Structure formats: C-alpha cells, structure tokens
Amino acid sequence: MRLDYLANAIGLTMMYIGLVILAPVAVALIYGEYSSVLPFLTTAATSALIGYALRKFVKNASTLENLNDIKKGEALFIVASVWVVFSLVSSIPYLFYGISPINALFESVSGITTTGATILTHYDYPHAFFFWRSFTQWLGGLGIIVLFIAVLPQFAVAGRQMFFAETPGPNEDKFTPRIRNTASALWKIYLAFTILETLLLIWAGMPNFDAICNSLSTVSAGGFSPHAESIFGYHSNAITWIVLVFMFLAGVSFNLQYKAINQKNPFILFKSEEFRAYFFMVLLMGGLITLSFVLNKYADGNFRDSLFQVISITTSSGFASVDFEKWNYTSKVLLFIVMFMGACASSAGGGIKLARWLVVFKSMKSEIVKILHPNAIVNIKIDNKTVQTETARQIVVFVFFYFLIFGLTSVLMSLIEQNSAVGLTGAIASLGNIGPGVAVTTGPMGNYDSLHTISKIIFIINMLVGRLELIPFMVMLQRDFWTLKD
C-alpha cells in the first residue's frame, strides 16, 4: 500500500466531512440553541484538521492530482479507516452533553452504521443533538464514501474500487457506465425518498422537526428517533403505515428502484428474484407472527404491527410501532429468526442480504443433485444469470464467517452479562445493524446503557464489521496486506 495515496484519500474525505458536520450548527441557530453551536464547530474543525494534517505531513500526499490507479487493497483500507476515524470524530458532540466517552463512541458508531441501538436513558436534549443522531444515520445509510464519489472529481475513476469496498455485495452491481454517475443517481433517489417521506409525515400530523429526523433515519434504515418511544410514541396509524412503506423501500436495492423509476414501471421490481424473496418473506413472517397472536390469544397483537416489526428488523431499521418485548414467546422467536434474513443487496439495509441466502440455498441444492448424479453439471443462477463458482464459494465463506463472529460474540456477551437472551439477540442485533434486541434491557423500549464496558466495545466492533460486511476487516487480517510503501 502507498502511504501518499492513503493519506490523500482519507485526508480529502475527512476535510469534506468537516463541512458536512456544520449542518447541525444551522439547526442550533434556527432553534436558538446557541450552546449547541460549539460542540459541532469543534467537531467540524477536528475533522478538517485531521484531513489537513494527513495531506500536509505525509510525503507527496498533497501533490497527487488524482487516485486513478488506486488498488483494491488500498481502497479497502481507505474505506475502513474513514469509517473508524469518522466514528471517533462524530462521537465528540456527545461528550459536550455529558455522555461518557465509551457511551459517546457507542452512540456514534450506532448512528453511522445505521444500527440504531442507543445508550440514552432520557431524551432531554436540544434539537441539534437529535438532528445529529439522525443525520449520521443518513450519511451512513448509503455510504460516506459514496457521497463523495458523487461530488468530488478526485474520485471520478478511483471511486470504483472504493464504491464496491464500501458497499460490498454478491456482485458488483452498477447501472451506469461511470461509477460516479451511479453514485450520483443513488443519492438523488435517496434524497427524493427522504423529502417525500418528510412531507407525508408532516401531512399525517407529525411535528416538522420530528418528521425530518424520522425520515433521515427511515430512508437510511437507521432507527434513531427523537421520540423516546420510537414510532409507537406518535400513536398514529397513518404515521406507522408511512414509516412502514419507506422502511420497506429502504430494504430494496436502490439500483433496482432506479431502473423501475427510470422506466416508469414498478413491476420491474418483481423481475428480480431477490426482491420476490424479500417481498414473500416479509409477508410470510408477518403472517406467521399474526397467526401466533391468534393461536396464543394475544389480544394486543395485529397484522400491521407484525408487518411493521418484521420489515423494521429485516431492513435493520430498528424502529418500533409497539413494545414487541411484551409479545408471546412464539412471536419473539419468529422475530429472532427474522434477524438473520437481511434486506436486499445494494440497499440501505444490513444483515447477510437475501441475495447471499439465495446463492447459499441454491449451492446446497446443487450439491445434493451432484450426490445423486456425480457427472451432472449444475449451474447456480440468479435472475437467469449464472453465478460464477468462485463467487458462490466466496458467499458461502462470507456466511460462515458471519455466523462464526455471531457465535463468538454471543458467547462472550452471554458470559459477560450473565444473560443468554442479551448475548444472543445483542450479538445479531449489532452484527446485523438491527438495533433493538429481543430482551428486556435491550428491547425496543430499553437501551444499552446498563451493559458492561467490554460488552459495549464488542458491540462497537460488531456494528462496524457488520456495516462494512466483514470484507475490509477480513482482508486486514492478512499479513501481506500491511506492506507499506512510501
């Protein structure tokens, strides 16, 4: 890896992030919360100084005009480094509000990874504070690097490697010849959905500020809300359905949605095998949970809340329309299963992704066929396109490592907290960037503040690893990855 390339890209990104961080300052001024100006000015200055120092003091970094020949390993390092550094920087405002360093970092990482797990024990904070929480989710939902690929000419060519390093998936799915145009198109859809949802929530009676914050968190599949009781706290059927629809859209491939919008044909969505699986599984699990309410004679349960929570967890949004911790045991087990589903690839949702599950199950089927017919040639196809053997193998390895990390962290968490429910649901809630777990303390109306410091550190690592989908961190475990060049 070349230090000048790394310093140039990371430094440039952090300098521009410094400008983006000024957005909450405007919110503070609008609401006359002048004491909230200093936290974000300090954070913006810190980010800009880090970027300036990297480009100034690393040899040749500031003289690079472009990064066109950046290598894949360098792109992975840049993406992972930006997320880690931004996590540290974005925790600074929370310190000004009396939150401890470890809790500030937890809230920060939970925000930018769109996990939505919180350590807040009360909601007596200014508007700028809540805007910052939702804004970090909005930035992280589509990808920090993806934003700058769309606007910075320095990333016009090199952006391809960083784009797929930040948004890894079963395949490199782009829908325009130039990756910069793809990034720009994605952000236009993302912004349009955010504005549309905000207007609809205001129409439904939600306060203007809450509508903005909840929209930022919905479209990003984040889950942070300025209301202590999440969406449940607004007690509105219309608001619940609006958020439900936009959460669902956040879990659909933005590339696929672009094609549907561009061709003015929503039925294009159903041509995707992954979307059909996503649509069917959401309805199936929602229906099964509703059935469990009927069979267990749980009077407070209904299909709307079942569907809402299934979509919320599948897309890793983490919003709550009800306190599902009070549901019957069968319903909570079904929700736990949903935590492993994941949304569609190239969406804002987290988790394993349904495209990978399709490949895994088809790989299993092909192996069974080969046992019966050893000489048979069985191709794995998704949307009538053959999945290369190497790609299928990588996906199987990915899923294996995903469950390995889940298993290790769930055991550690269970031992540390002396609570298997917190350990199991907390491990998948953090690794899948879901947010609330199916446990009393970490449930939809609870928080993670009472957890042991070591547990919070494990969660922080899980959230970052889960958001970047393991790949950059797995690569960094290789010794030859760390060979540096001047």
Residue 381 belongs to some domain of the structure: yes
Q: What is the reported pLDDT for 457?
A: 94
Q: What is the reported pLDDT for 175?
A: 47
The residues that bridge with 485 in the sheet, in sequence order, are: 2
Structure tokens at 163: 């784009």
pLDDT tens digit sequence for 87-101: 999 999 999 999 999
Please state, rounded to an integer, the average pLDDT across all residues of the chain: 86
Q: Is the pLDDT of residue 62 over 70?
A: no
What percent of the chain shows pLDDT beyond 70? 87
Domain count, the chain: 1
| Residue span of the structural domain in which 476 resides | 354-482
Sign of CA dihedral 386, 388, 393, 394: negative
The string of DSSP codes covering 319-336 is: --SS-GGGS-HHHHHHHH
Q: Is the pLDDT of residue 233 over 60?
A: yes
Integer Cα distance of 187 and 60 in angstroms: 32
Q: What is the reported pLDDT for 200?
A: 97
Q: Is the pLDDT of residue 337 over 90?
A: yes
Within a 10 A sphere around the Cβ of 461, how many other Cβ atoms? 16
Q: What is the reported pLDDT for 230?
A: 92
pLDDT confidence bin for 131, thresholds 50/70/90 = very high
320: left (phi over 0), alpha (psi -120 to 50) or beta: beta
Distance of CA 144 to the CA centre of its chain: 11
Residue 34 belongs to some domain of the structure: no
DSSP state of 209: H
Q: Is the pLDDT of residue 112 over 60?
A: yes
Which of 137, 112, 133, 151 shows the shortest CA–CA distance to 12?
A: 151
The dihedral formed by the CA atoms of 279, 428, 79 and 19, expressed in degrees to the nearest 10: 80
What percent of the chain shows pLDDT beyond 90? 50
Q: Which of 173-182, 407-416, 433-442 has the highest mean pLDDT?
A: 407-416
The answer to whether residues 315 and 349 touch, using CB atoms and an 8 Å cutoff, is yes
Instruction: Report which secondary-structure segment, H or E, holds 243.
Output: helix 237-250
Residue 462 belongs to some domain of the structure: yes
Q: Is the pLDDT of residue 65 over 70?
A: no
Integer Cα distance of 383 and 368 in angstroms: 21
Integer Cα distance of 172 and 394 in angstroms: 14
Higher pLDDT residue, 198 or 151?
198
Average pLDDT over residues 417-424: 89
Sign of CA dihedral 149, 153, 156, 158: negative
Q: What is the pTM of this model?
A: 0.90
Q: What is the reported pLDDT for 250?
A: 93
Higher pLDDT residue, 372 or 281?
281
Residue 75 belongs to some domain of the structure: no
Look at 73-82, 191-200, 289-298, 302-311 and tell me which has the smallest mean pLDDT: 73-82
Integer Cα distance of 392 and 386 in angstroms: 10
Q: What is the reported pLDDT for 481?
A: 62
- For the chain, give the number of residues: 486
Q: Is the pLDDT of residue 46 over 70?
A: yes
Within a 10 A sphere around the Cβ of 13, how many other Cβ atoms? 27
pLDDT confidence bin for 472, thresholds 50/70/90 = low
pLDDT tens digit sequence for 345-359: 888 888 888 988 999
Q: Is the pLDDT of residue 43 over 70?
A: yes
Residue 286 belongs to some domain of the structure: no
Look at 46-60, 111-125, 240-254 and tell me which has the smallest mean pLDDT: 46-60
Integer Cα distance of 196 and 245 in angstroms: 12
Residue 279 belongs to some domain of the structure: no
Distance of CA 313 to the CA centre of its chain: 12
Structure tokens at 461: 């690592």
pLDDT confidence bin for 29, thresholds 50/70/90 = very high
Q: What is the reported pLDDT for 173?
A: 56
Count, in order, helices (H) and strands (E) of the chain. 21, 2
Residue 408 belongs to some domain of the structure: yes
Average pLDDT over residues 421-429: 90
Average pLDDT over residues 13-32: 92
Residue 267 belongs to some domain of the structure: no
Integer Cα distance of 420 and 339 in angstroms: 16
Q: Which of 18-27, 63-72, 144-153, 178-187 has the highest mean pLDDT?
A: 18-27
Sign of CA dihedral 18, 112, 225, 255: positive
> Exposure string (b/e) for 17-39, b if CB count within 10 Å is 16 or more?
bbebbebbbebbeeeebeebbeb
Coil/strand/helix, residue 296: coil
Integer Cα distance of 310 and 319 in angstroms: 10
pLDDT confidence bin for 130, thresholds 50/70/90 = very high
The string of DSSP codes covering 445-466 is: T--STTS-HHHHHHHHHHHHHH
